[in-house]
Amino acid sequence: MRSTPRKSNAVRTNSTAAKSDHAPGGRCSASVWALAGFLLLAVAGTACDKGSSIGAPPSGAQAVAGSERTVSQTALIQKGGLCDENRTVSAPDPDSAEWVIWRLYELALAEDNALNFQAFVQLFPSSRNARDLKEQYWGRVRQNVHKYASVKPGKPDYIVCRSIAVDDGRKYFIVSANPRQTPPPIIVGESEGRKKIIFLTPF
């Protein structure tokens, strides 16, 4: 009578154990999933620490720069420009460019007659057409002179907001009585041996 050797049972047992170590869902697979989870948590933590730039509040430097721009824009509206001179002109030297502007306002405040208009024309280069000056400038300057000759009522005194040197003379920006109006430029330069109005904004 034969008996079944017990050795074969041991072999089968060992084989089953070996298969279980390599089966899906075993110890190796669990280790891989644990490592992946750790890496995901690390990446998420880094992102939270850095934050997002979209919709984030501005940095201190950005806030200061924005504030300076706002102040400059407000000053531009309220003062009609950033006036670094803010200088009153009253009875200037007749040979100066500022006298030409002062005389312009003096004539604009005077009576509307042929004599004053001819004096007005003399403030411009002779190449300027008198008819054009009459139609486009004389009436408008007279209408708006009170905005700029605003130091004393009825007087041609005015305030220089700022002035800069340009190729054809010097450009003056005159303070307006309207705080919301940008100073209009007037350029006075040499023409025919005398100072003349080269450019004028009559508004």
Is residue 97 a part of any domain in this protein?
yes
Dihedral angle computed from the Cα positions of residues 154, 159, 165 and 167, in that order, rounded to the nearest 10 degrees: -30
**Interior angle at CA 60, CA 55 and CA 62, nearest 5:** 65
Q: Which of 36-45, 86-95, 117-126 has the lowest mean pLDDT?
A: 36-45
Tens-digit pLDDT profile for residues 189-200:
999 999 999 999
Flag whether 81 is in a domain.
no
The one-letter amino acid code at 171 reads K
Which residues constitute the domain of residue 187? Answer: 87-200
Gap between the Cα atoms of 160 and 171, Å rounded: 10
CA distances to 78, 142, 144, 164, 196 from 137, rounded to whole Å, are 27, 8, 10, 23, 15
Answer yes or no: is 71 within a domain.
no
| Per-residue confidence band for 31, with pLDDT thresholds at 50, 70 and 90 | low
**135 in a domain, yes or no?**
yes
Domain tally, the chain: 1
Single pTM value for the model? 0.61
Of the candidates 188, 187, 176, which has an alpha carbon nearest to the alpha carbon of residue 147? 176
The tens digit of pLDDT for each residue in 38-82 reads: 555 444 444 444 443 333 444 444 444 443 434 344 444 444 457
Whole-number pLDDT of residue 56: 43
pLDDT score at 151 = 86
Collapsed DSSP state (helix, strand, coil) of residue 55: coil
